[in-house]
């Protein structure tokens, strides 16, 4: 192991849209930025996999706000939602259209650059027109009362993320370190000074004036997830271990339409239902009107539970895409179906799968966490925007808006570099032999089984208590090994165990079913 001193003005841990946005504005403010990311290619970040699109306010931020709050079952923080809808149009115009030139789908041939820019920049202003009213093609998704989703087929995340990374790589003030995993935060007396980072088997302290956590989701905690591999809740685990405040951890969103029957399971965008696709059970019956007045466009938590119920009752649920021209409107999804031997003309078999954590590290409107010089953005953060349930196509937007604000604030509050160098890094021990290669894999299987059975789409209070017991023992085992061994897989397991325990504990302590947190009544719970 090496313990060389390395410093940067702003350290961004993670390379999704939130991390990229933070790096962009920090660099614009004159900071030297280092992005440390476990991903070694774009597919390693959750943003790359986002299908549906990115929502904007157009010329009606108040209605957008109401949709977000209603989808959250009334639990979203109104002030946080105000920030999101107020800055939505400007953020998309500045970064995605003017800086990255993302080619969003359009309803007519592209006109001049001036016309395109004018149509977007007028949004949200006094008397302004809708964003790209005559040119950009807006989609509608579940729980949205208007067509406000910008998209690129069903691969919007990819269309944004790749040019974003390419743009940052071209800047001299931004360094991207791929295959670099943050193991723990460098902290002292309530302040964060960077992180211990592992790359190619070597571990070194990377000191920073400000540290921004943008590590993405928690997909590795569940057997079925829409997240890419490696989403082990690192940012939340590190922040919680350092003493940062976390909240809303019980609100784990499950996407209702994931094709788990495929060799490589894939998400079927909510935009497909927005265009008219219908959910049918094994008996061919359309069932969503029986569960909610908005049918297929009901909030995600409602649709996910309905799909689970009908699968349990009839054995299968399929997404009927015959009401729309699926092949021309969603060619990327057609390709996924064909690659996995799914005949979409007969309906796409779907099931709920873990999708998004609405809670996380508590931050303010600038992404500042409860520890000094620590920020969190994207899915790692709990901004208050989502409450108990996230509105479709707001994750990319939240990551973009909070990333921009956090990066700017971090650059403005930089400490002197000489002070950064004075912090003594922890001594990571490596005195015992390495653990067998299957050790972490076996423990992860145990963790996923507990989360799937006890802390999933529907929860039983008695089973939540059992889950906490199992997860505490698992965390204790991992902690014992971490004291004498240092490896990426062991630290990822530790972060996952901490995050899983936080989810189970929060779910157990919340007696009210709201949004994604849905409690079942059991005889044992009633007796208690």
List the catalytic residues.
Answer: 300
The CA-CA-CA angle for residues 403, 409, 410, to 5°, reads 85
Whether residue 390 contacts residue 348, with contact meaning beta carbons closer than 8 Å, is answered with no
Helices of type H across 92-228: 113-121, 156-169
Residue keyed to tokens 């400000």: 210
Write the DSSP string, 240-295: HHHT--EE-TT-EEEEEEEETTSSS-EE--HHHHHTT-EEEETTS-B-GGGT-TTG
Whether residue 400 contacts residue 99, with contact meaning beta carbons closer than 8 Å, is answered with no
Exposure string of 11-35, with b = 16+ CB inside 10 Å and e = fewer, is bbbbbbbbbbbbbbbbbbbebbbbb
User: What's the half-sphere exposure (Cβ side, CA atoms, 13 Å) at 451?
Assistant: 28
| Dist CA 496 CA 236 (whole Å) | 9
| Dist CA 149 CA 140 (whole Å) | 6
| Residue 228 in tokens | 């890419």
The residue among 213, 166, 158 whose CA lies nearest residue 185 is 213
Report DSSP state, residue 228.
P
Stated length of the chain: 528
| Dist CA 145 CA 75 (whole Å) | 19
| Residue 110 in tokens | 């592209």
The residue among 132, 90, 89, 128 whose CA lies nearest residue 113 is 132
User: 11: part of which helix (H) or strand (E)?
Assistant: strand 6-13
Strand-pairing partners, residue 176, are: 35
| Dist CA 385 CA 400 (whole Å) | 13
| Residue 144 in tokens | 């949205």
């Amino acid at each position: 192991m090496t313990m060389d001193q390395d410093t940067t003005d702003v350290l961004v841990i993670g390379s999704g849209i939130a991390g990229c946005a933070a790096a962009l504005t920090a660099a614009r403010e004159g900071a030297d930025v280092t992005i440390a990311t476990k991903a070694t290619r774009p597919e390693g970040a959750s943003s790359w996999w986002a299908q549906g699109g990115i929502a904007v306010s157009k010329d009606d931020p108040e209605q957008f706000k109401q949709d977000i709050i209603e989808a959250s079952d009334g639990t979203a923080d109104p002030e946080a939602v105000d920030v999101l809808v107020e800055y939505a149009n400007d953020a998309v115009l500045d970064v995605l259209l003017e800086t990255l030139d993302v080619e969003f789908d359009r309803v007519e041939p592209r006109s001049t650059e001036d016309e395109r820019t004018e149509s977007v920049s007028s949004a949200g202003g006094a008397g302004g027109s809708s964003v790209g009213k005559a040119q950009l093609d807006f989609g509608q998704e579940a729980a949205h009362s208007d067509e406000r989703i910008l998209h690129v087929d069903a691969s919007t995340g990819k269309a944004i993320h790749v040019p974003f990374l390419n743009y940052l790589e071209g800047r001299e003030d931004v360094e991207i370190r791929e295959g670099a995993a943050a193991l723990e935060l460098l902290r002292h007396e309530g302040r964060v000074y960077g992180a211990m980072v592992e790359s190619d088997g070597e571990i070194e302290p990377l000191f920073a004036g400000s540290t921004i956590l943008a590590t993405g989701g928690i997909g590795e905690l569940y057997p079925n997830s829409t997240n890419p591999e490696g989403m082990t809740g690192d940012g939340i685990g590190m922040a919680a271990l350092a003493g940062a405040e976390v909240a809303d951890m019980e609100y784990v969103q499950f996407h209702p339409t994931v094709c788990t029957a495929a060799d490589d399971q894939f998400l079927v965008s909510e935009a497909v239902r927005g265009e008219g696709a219908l959910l049918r059970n094994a008996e061919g019956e359309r069932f969503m009107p029986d569960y909610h007045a908005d049918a297929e466009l009901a909030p995600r938590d409602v649709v996910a539970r309905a799909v689970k119920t009908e699968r349990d009752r009839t054995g299968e649920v399929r997404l009927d895409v015959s009401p729309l021209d699926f092949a021309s409107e969603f060619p990327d999804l057609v390709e996924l179906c064909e690659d996995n031997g799914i005949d979409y003309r007969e309906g796409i078999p779907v099931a709920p799968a873990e999708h998004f954590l609405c809670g996380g590290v508590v931050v303010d409107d600038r992404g500042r966490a409860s520890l000094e010089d620590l920020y969190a953005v994207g899915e790692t953060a709990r901004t208050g925007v989502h409450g108990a349930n996230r509105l479709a196509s707001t994750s990319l937007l939240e990551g973009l808006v909070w990333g921009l604000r956090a990066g700017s604030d971090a650059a403005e509050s930089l400490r002197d570099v000489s002070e950064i160098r004075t912090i003594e890094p922890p001594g990571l021990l490596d005195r015992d032999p390495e653990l067998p290669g299957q050790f972490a894999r076996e423990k992860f299987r145990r963790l996923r089984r507990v989360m799937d059975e006890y802390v999933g789409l529907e929860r039983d209070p008695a089973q939540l208590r059992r889950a906490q017991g199992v997860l505490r023992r698992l965390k204790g085992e991992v902690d014992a090994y971490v004291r004498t061994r240092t490896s990426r897989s062991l630290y990822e397991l530790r972060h996952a165990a901490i995050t899983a325990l936080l989810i189970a504990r929060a779910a157990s302590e919340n007696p009210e079913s709201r949004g994604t947190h849905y409690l079942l009544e059991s005889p044992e719970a009633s007796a208690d």
